[in-house]
Amino acid sequence: MKINVYRWHETPADIRQKILKRSETDIGGVKDIVAPIVEDVRKHGDEALAKYAKKFDGADISAHQIKATEEEFAEAGKRLDGKLKDAIRFCADNVRRFHQAQKDREERRWLIEVMPGVWAGEQISPLPSVGLYVPRGKGAFPSVMYMLCMPAIVAQVPQVVVVTPPTPEGRVDDASLFTAQVCGIKNVYKAGGAQAIAALAYGTQTVPKVSKVLGPGNSFVAAARRMLADVINPGMPAGPSEAIIFADDSAHVENTARDLLNEAEHGPDSASLLVTHSEKLAAAIEAILPNIINELPEKRREFCAKGFSTYGGIIITRSLEESIAFCNEYAVEHLQLKVNAPENVIPKLHHVGEILVGEYTPISMGNFGIGVNAVLPTGGHARTYSATSIWDYVKRTSLAMNTRKGFDALKGPIVTVSDYEGFPAHSSAITKRETEGLKEPPVDAILAAE
C-alpha cells in the first residue's frame, strides 16, 4: 500500500500545487455533466428529480413521492434502534446549545453612540428561507442533518427545506428522517446531487425555491452551486472531506495513525495529511498506517488506500514554524493539533475551519457531538470562510439615526465631502433642510422593540 511522503522544502512546485488544490481539480471537470442536469430540473421540475433518483440513486419513485410524508417520519422512528435515537438526541442537543450561545452573544438589535447624538448599529434578521443539503451515497449522515438544522431553528428561519438522496427503497434514510424530526424540520425531500441544488435554486412543483443553500456535497454538488450562484446564494463551499493532523514528537503514534483515517474514510476524493517536523513520528506513522487501514471494512479500506496515494499522505517540514506556514497555506477543513504548548501555536493558525486540541479531542468528536459545527469550508476556502454558525442563517441590516445635536455636528464635514465628490443634491438635502421642531428618534424604544 502506497503512502505519499513529501519533504515539503524538496517537493517540486507542480506536486505542491496538486496537494494544495486537492479534489478541487475534479470540480471543474464535471461542469459539462452538471449543466444539462440543472437545465433539465429547471424545465421539468419533479419529473426530472424522479428520473435522476432512479438513475443515480437506484430509487424508483414518482414525481409525487419527492416529499417525505408524515407516515414516513413515523415509520422511520419506529424502525430505528433506541440507543441510536438517544445518541442523536444527545449530540444534537450539544449542537443546539452551542449555537444558542452564539446567538445569545449578539443582541438582535444594537446601537452605539459614535459621537453625541449620532447612533449607528445593526438589526439582525433571519433569512427568509434556506435549503439544507444532507448527502448520502457513501453512507447515511444524520449528524450532518443536526449540524445544519439546529442553527436554522435557533436562528428562527421561517422556511427550512432539506434535500437528501433517497435510498434504493425510495425512502429517506431512517436516522436522517428521525433527526430532522428531532430538530423540528418537516420539509424533507428525496433529491440529491446537482439536481437537488437546481431544485432549491429554481423550485419545482414540490420543492420550494429558497434563498440560500448550505451543506457539504461531492464535486457534482459543488459544481452545481457554483453554476447557480447568480440564482441562489450558494453558501459556504463545502466539498469533499479533508483534514490535517498537525503533530510533533509528543503525539501518540497509534492514536495519530487512527486520527488520520477519520476524514480519509469518507471517500476516495478526501484528503488527509499528517504535517510534522518530526522525522521519527513520520517514519512511525508510515510504518503502521497500512496495517491500521487494513483493519477497516473493504469499502472504507479502499477509500483510505486511494486517499493516501493521491490527495493525502505525510508532509515533513523542517520546523514547527514551517508546519504552521503549510497549514495556513493549505487552509484545511479540520485540523487536530497535537503539539507541546498548543497555546503558542493556536494564535498563529489563521486559516483553518476548526482546531481540535489534544489527544482527547479527535476529529470524530468534533464531527458528531462536541457542539461545534462540523460543516466547514473545504478546498482552501477556510482562508475567507468560517465554520457554519448561526450567522449563516441570518443577515445584518445597518441601522443609524441622528438627534438634532448629531445632525448639527455632522452636517459640515458631510457637505464638504459631498461637494468634493460632485453631488449637489446630497449637499442640499442637508443645507436646505428644515430642522426646527422635528421629532427626534426614540433610541431606547427602538432598541427595546420586539
Cβ neighbours for 212, distance < 8 A, ≥ 6 positions apart:
127, 129, 130, 131, 232, 233, 234, 235, 392
Torsion of CA 370, 74, 66, 62, to 10 degrees: 140
Burial of 360 (0-12, 13-18, 19+ CB in 10 A): exposed
* 20 touches 325 (CB < 8 A): no
Q: Can 9 be counted among the known catalytic residues? A: no
Interatomic CA distance for residues 215 and 132, integer angstroms:
6
Q: Which helix (H) or strand (E) holds 179?
A: helix 174-183
C-alpha cell read off for 357: 486540541
Q: With H, G, I as helix, E, B as strand and everything else as coil, classify residue 112.
A: strand
Q: Label residue 339 exposed, middle or buried (CB < 10 Å: 0-12, 13-18, 19+).
A: buried
Q: Residue 156 CB: number of other CB atoms within 10 A?
A: 13
User: Does the active-site annotation cover 334?
Assistant: yes
Please state the separation of Cα 354 from the chain's center in Å.
11
Q: Which of 333, 351, 354, 381 is catalytic?
A: 333
Kindly report each contact of residues 52-56 with a partner whose C-beta sits within 8 Å and lies 24 or more positions away, as own/partner: 52/191, 52/193, 52/195, 53/165, 53/166, 53/170, 53/190, 53/191, 53/192, 56/165, 56/192, 56/193, 56/195
Name the catalytic one among 99, 266, 277, 334.
334
- The 3-state DSSP class for residue 395 equals strand
Sheet holding 354-357, edge to edge: 5-7, 313-316, 271-276, 242-247, 334-338, 354-357
Adjacency order of strands within the sheet including 394-402: 109-115, 118-126, 394-402
- How would you write 28-92 as a 3-class SS string? HHCHHHHHHHHHHHHHHCHHHHHHHHHHHHCCCCCHHHCECCHHHHHHHHHHCCHHHHHHHHHHH
Q: Is 379 left (phi over 0), alpha (psi -120 to 50) or beta?
A: left
> How far apart are the C-alpha atoms of 442 and 424, rounded to whole Å?
30
Enzyme catalytic residues: 333-334
